[in-house]
């Protein structure tokens, strides 16, 4: 545990975290300019979970996330241009503009979907893990979900089956303390809504600092090793916080000011930046940030220039063709 972090790793982490943060800032602006239909759920403040977990995974491992899923998709390598295009409903989007912010999917990067129904993707992750086991693929399936999801039946069914069949699944709970507007301690009888439940399924449950990239990488590394050995799943509970409201319609006034301030002080992007500044040559962090920002500007320009899908493609990729 806690393998040393190199300057190159810190550079990669800052680059990706800055990219995710900047991507979501631009998405927020696009929505407020009325350029996008629907809604969006930002992961601002939770970037470390996606970046840390990805650092522990192999390119052919699978991840499944939620409607709050921009960070998972980008951290796994989805191109920002095709993610912007998807959110803007353009034909060059990862789902050809038919999925939008809540449904980013990119099988070529192991992003097996983002799901808007709370808890629905946990059994799907178990299906991925089962396919890996029966075909002896050596791949793990990582399922990201929120604290509130632990109160959904599908969470328990999925964890139970994965534990009984010793499937290579990793259940990563991003405990941001709220389920929409409800504090988790009002709906969970245990202190750690996900990890404390692990004992009931006879599997490890670990609680980690979800704003510490290295801690997440190490925890997922241990869980992935266990999964690949055939020893079964792990629940990793990452304690974190969303800086903004649940969705773009939520001003988040139900949260105590001091609580918000406490977590803003623990901003994971600023933390990685400080770490990099302490080890790299002067100017490295600014250079990384400028490059990420330029990359995003180019990606957004490309997405905005792309056409909307033609009406004739409406049902393409919607129905499976009979063989
Ligand atoms: C089955 C189901 N019930 C209710 C909702 C409405 N809903 C959307 S997000 C959400 C909160 C989920 O909270 P949590 O699991 O903590 O994830 P977070 O949004 O904090 O990332 C709810 C209740 C839904 N989408 N699906
Ligand atoms: Mg939550």
Q: Tell me which residue has tokens 């800032």.
A: 25
HEC letters along 11-63: HHHHHHHHHHHHHHHHHHHHHHCCCCCCCCCCCCCCHHHHHHHHHCCCCCCEE
Residue 3's pLDDT band (boundaries 50, 70, 90)?
Answer: low
314 is a domain residue: no
Find the 84 Cα to ligand 2 centroid distance in Å: 24
The closest-lying atom of ligand 1 relative to the alpha carbon of residue 118 is 26
63 is a domain residue: yes
Q: State which of 42, 103, 118 you would mutate to test the pocket of ligand 1, scoring each by most atoms of that ligand within 8 A of its C-beta.
A: 118
Q: What is the pLDDT of residue 1?
A: 42
pLDDT, one tens digit per residue, over 34-48 is: 999 889 999 999 999
Q: Give the domain range for residue 45.
A: 7-303
pLDDT score of 322 more than 90: no
Does residue 190 come out as left (phi exceeding 0), alpha (psi in the -120 to 50 range) or beta?
Answer: beta
Instruction: Find the mean pLDDT for residues 303-319.
Output: 92
247 is a domain residue: yes
pLDDT score of 2 more than 60: no
pLDDT score of 68 more than 60: yes
254 is a domain residue: yes
d(CA 38, CA 233): 35
The closest-lying atom of ligand 1 relative to the alpha carbon of residue 176 is 20
Residue with the smallest CA separation from ligand 1 atom 8 is 118
Backbone angles phi, psi at 119, to 5 degrees: 85, -15
pLDDT score of 270 more than 50: yes
Find the 117 Cα to ligand 1 centroid distance in Å: 7
319 is a domain residue: no
d(CA 245, CA 266): 17
Secondary structure class of 298 (helix, strand, coil):
helix
Residue with the smallest CA separation from ligand 1 atom 21 is 146
Find the 26 Cα to ligand 2 centroid distance in Å: 23
Whole-model pTM: value is 0.97
> Residue 222: how many CB atoms within 10 A of its CB?
17
Q: State which of 145, 179, 248 you would mutate to test the pocket of ligand 1, scoring each by most atoms of that ligand within 8 A of its C-beta.
A: 179
322 is a domain residue: no
Contacts of 56 (CB under 8 A, 6+ apart): 216, 217, 218, 220, 221, 224
Question: Residue 145: nearest ligand to its CA?
Answer: 1
228 is a domain residue: yes
Residue 276's pLDDT band (boundaries 50, 70, 90)?
Answer: very high
Pocket of ligand 1 (CB under 6 A): 66, 68, 116-118, 145-149, 176, 178-180, 246
Contacts of 158 (CB under 8 A, 6+ apart): 122, 123, 125, 126, 143, 169, 171
Q: How far is CA 91 from CA 31, 32, 41, 69, 310, in A?
A: 18, 22, 22, 20, 8
> Which runs of consecutive H residues, i.e. helices, occur in the chain?
7-32, 47-55, 70-75, 80-87, 121-135, 153-164, 213-228, 257-265, 268-279, 284-305
Find the 53 Cα to ligand 1 centroid distance in Å: 22
> What's 127's domain CATH number?
3.40.50.970
Q: Give 265 or 2, the one with higher predicted confidence.
A: 265
Q: How many domains does the chain have?
A: 1
318 is a domain residue: no
Q: What is the largest CA-CA distance in the chain?
A: 59
Of 130, 125, 144, nearest in space to 230 by CA: 130
């Amino acid at each position: 545990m806690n393998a040393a972090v190199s300057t190159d790793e810190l550079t990669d982490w800052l680059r990706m975290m800055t990219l995710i943060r900047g991507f979501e800032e631009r998405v927020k602006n696009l929505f407020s300019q009325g350029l996008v239909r629907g809604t969006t759920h930002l992961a601002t403040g939770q970037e470390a979970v996606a970046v840390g977990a990805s650092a522990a995974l192999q390119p052919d491992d699978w991840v499944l996330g939620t409607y709050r899923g921009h960070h998972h998709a980008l951290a796994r390598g989805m191109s920002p241009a095709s993610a912007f295009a998807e959110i803007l409903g353009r034909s060059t989007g990862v789902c050809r503009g038919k999925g939008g912010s809540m449904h980013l999917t990119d099988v070529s990067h192991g992003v097996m979907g983002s799901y808007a129904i709370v808890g629905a993707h946990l059994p799907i992750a178990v299906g991925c893990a089962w396919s890996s086991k029966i075909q002896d693929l050596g791949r793990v399936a990582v399922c990201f979900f929120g604290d509130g999801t632990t109160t959904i039946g599908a969470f328990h069914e999925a964890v139970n089956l994965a534990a009984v069949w010793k499937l290579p699944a990793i259940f990563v709970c991003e405990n941001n303390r709220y389920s929409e507007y409800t504090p988790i301690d009002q709906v969970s009888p245990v202190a750690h809504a996900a990890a404390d439940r692990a004992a009931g399924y006879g599997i490890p449950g670990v609680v980690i600092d979800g704003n510490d990239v290295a801690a997440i990488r190490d925890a997922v590394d241990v869980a992935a090793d266990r999964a690949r050995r055939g020893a079964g799943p792990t629940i990793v509970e990452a304690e974190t916080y969303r800086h903004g409201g649940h969705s773009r319609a939520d001003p988040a006034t139900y949260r105590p000011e001091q609580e918000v301030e406490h977590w803003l002080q623990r901003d994971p992007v600023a933390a990685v930046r400080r770490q990099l500044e302490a080890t790299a040559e002067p100017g490295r962090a600014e250079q990384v940030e400028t490059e990420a920002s330029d990359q995003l500007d180019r990606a957004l320009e490309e997405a905005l220039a792309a056409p909307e899908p033609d009406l004739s493609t409406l049902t393409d990729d919607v129905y499976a063709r009979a063989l």
